[in-house]
Structure formats: C-alpha cells, structure tokens
Structure 1
C-alpha cells in the first residue's frame, strides 16, 4: 500500500512537471511570435521600437522580456488594465483578461494598437490575432481587416503564416 502511494506520488509529480514544461515552451513560442508580429506589422508612423503591454498573468511576459533584452527594439510592460493600453503598440491579453477585451478596445480607441490574445475565439471580436493549438503546434488566427482598419499594414509573410478569419 505504501509503495503504491509513492509510485502514485511520483507519477503525479512527473505529470505536473511535464505539463509545466509544456506550458513554459508554449509561452516561449507565443513570445517569439509576438516579437515577430512587431517586425511584420508596419505602423503608420513607421516606428521600429515598439512597446508591448502584457495584460494578465502569463509566462509570455518573462519570455518576451528576455527576447527584447537580447534583440532590442522592444519594451515590455506588465500592464494593470485597459487604462494604460493606449500607451502600447501591441497588447497581449492573457486568458484571464478575455472578459475585458471590449474595455481594452475602448481604451485604445482609434489608435494603431495590435491586440493579440491567447484565446483565438476572440479574433475578429476585439482581438486582431489569437493563438490556438493544432496537432500540438502553436498557430494563430489573424483578422487582416481589423489590422488595416487601425491604419497598420501586415506583411504578406505574416498573412501567409496565420490562418485568416
């Protein structure tokens, strides 16, 4: 009986450890995608240094900060809510912020701010780009019309990589 509890505990520990590793890998890939989105979007001002606001708790913040520190051209901020969204060029909405997508868009107004969400179901409903997993691979939906309506131009490379809505 004691031995089976130990084995069960080890199996549970390994399952948790592997799922955390998978989550960390997913966060790293999302951060890399966001970094690349900044390269593949042309802002009306022609800016090259972008500010990314991370809304909600997500491992993406740490990973994106690491990319930005090593490659430059990006500032990453953990933002506390919609009121500071207009100071950013890209907003990343963690799943915990899904219900606030309308508030973020109201705060952004007509500014050229790319809204990226962890939840692809928000794409076209307040988010310009949303992540999803397909066959174990990270993919993204993209709303080209919404991006263009904000006076930003997505590159053909970005459009080819994403799945249009």
Structure 2
C-alpha cells in the first residue's frame, strides 16, 4: 500500500511540474506574441517605442519585461487601473482582471491603445486581441475593426497569424 502511495505522490508531483512548465511556457509565448503585436501594428503617430501597461498580476509581465529589456524599443509597466491607459500603447488584461474590461475600454475610447486579453471571449467586447488554446497551442483572435476604429493599422501578417473576427 505504501508503494502505491509513493507512486501516486510521484505521479501527482510530476503532473504539477508539467503543468507549471506548461504555464511558464504559455506565459513566455504570450509575452512574445505581445512583443510581435507591437511590431505588426502601425500607430497613427508612427510610434516605434511602445509602452505596455500590465493590468493586474500575471506571469506574462515578468516574461515580457525580460524580453523587452533584451530587445529594446519597449517599456513594460504595471498600471493601477483604467486611469493609466493614457500612458500606454498596449494594455494587457490578465484573466484576473476580466471584470474590468468595460472600464478599460471606456478609458481607452477612441485613443490608439491596443487592448490584449488572456480571455478570447472578450475579443470584440472591449478587447482587440484575445488569447486561447487550441489543441495545446496558443492562438489568438483579433478584432480588426476595433483596431482600425482606433486609427491603428494591423499588418496583413498579423491578420494572417490570428483568427480574425
């Protein structure tokens, strides 16, 4: 009986480790996608140095900060709430902040600020781009009209990579 408990404990620990590694990998990929979104969106001012506001707590914040520091041309900052959107070009909304999508969307209004959400269900309902998993792969939905309405131009490469709604 003790042997079965040890095997069960080992299997549980291994499962948690794999889950943790998958979550860490997912955060890295989300950070990379956000960095690439900045490259594949043209802002009306021709802006090249992009500021990403991280709303709420997320592992993506640290990953994006590390990536941005190595590449340059991007600043990552934690924001306190919707009143900080004017400091940003991109807002990242983690799932823990889903309930604030309307407040962020109202604060953004027609400003050229891209909202990216971890929840693809919010795409077109405030969020311009939303992540989802499909067959274990990270994908994203993109709402082209809302991006264009804010006077930003998504490249054809970006539209081809995501699923446009």
Same fold, judged at TM 0.5 (above): yes
Question: What corresponds to 1:51 in structure 2?
Answer: 51
Please give the alpha-carbon distance, in whole angstroms, between the structure 2 residues aligned to 1:28 and 1:57.
Answer: 15
115-124 or 54-63, which deviates more: 54-63
Question: What corresponds to 1:40 in structure 2?
Answer: 40
CA RMSD of superposed structures (Å): 0.9
1:105-160 residue CA offsets vs partner (Å, 9 max, x unmatched): 11222210000000111000000000111111111110110000001011111111
Structure 1 gap segments, 5+ residues each:
none
After TM superposition, the structure 1 = structure 2 runs for residues 104-115 of structure 1, keeping only pairs within 5 Å, are 104-115=104-115
Query: Paired residues, what number?
Result: 165
Please give the alpha-carbon distance, in whole angstroms, between the structure 1 residues aligned to 2:7 and 2:97.
Answer: 38
Question: What corresponds to 1:81 in structure 2?
Answer: 81
1:2 deviation in Å? 2.2
The question of 1:152 aligning with 2:152 is answered yes
What is the SS of the residue equivalent to 1:12? helix
1:92 deviation in Å? 0.6
Question: What corresponds to 1:3 in structure 2?
Answer: 3
The question of 1:62 aligning with 2:62 is answered yes
13-22 or 82-91, which deviates more: 82-91
Please give the alpha-carbon distance, in whole angstroms, between the structure 2 residues aligned to 1:79 and 1:6.
Answer: 45
Structure 1 stretches of 4+ with a deviation exceeding 6 A read: none
**TM-score where L is the length of structure 2:** 0.97
Please give the alpha-carbon distance, in whole angstroms, between the structure 1 residues aligned to 2:135 and 2:4.
Answer: 34
1:7-48 residue CA offsets vs partner (Å, 9 max, x unmatched): 211111111110000000011011000000000001111110
Structure 2 gap segments, 5+ residues each:
none
Please give the alpha-carbon distance, in whole angstroms, between the structure 1 residues aligned to 2:90 and 2:63.
Answer: 16
Question: What corresponds to 1:103 in structure 2?
Answer: 103
Please give the alpha-carbon distance, in whole angstroms, between the structure 2 residues aligned to 1:57 and 1:11.
Answer: 30
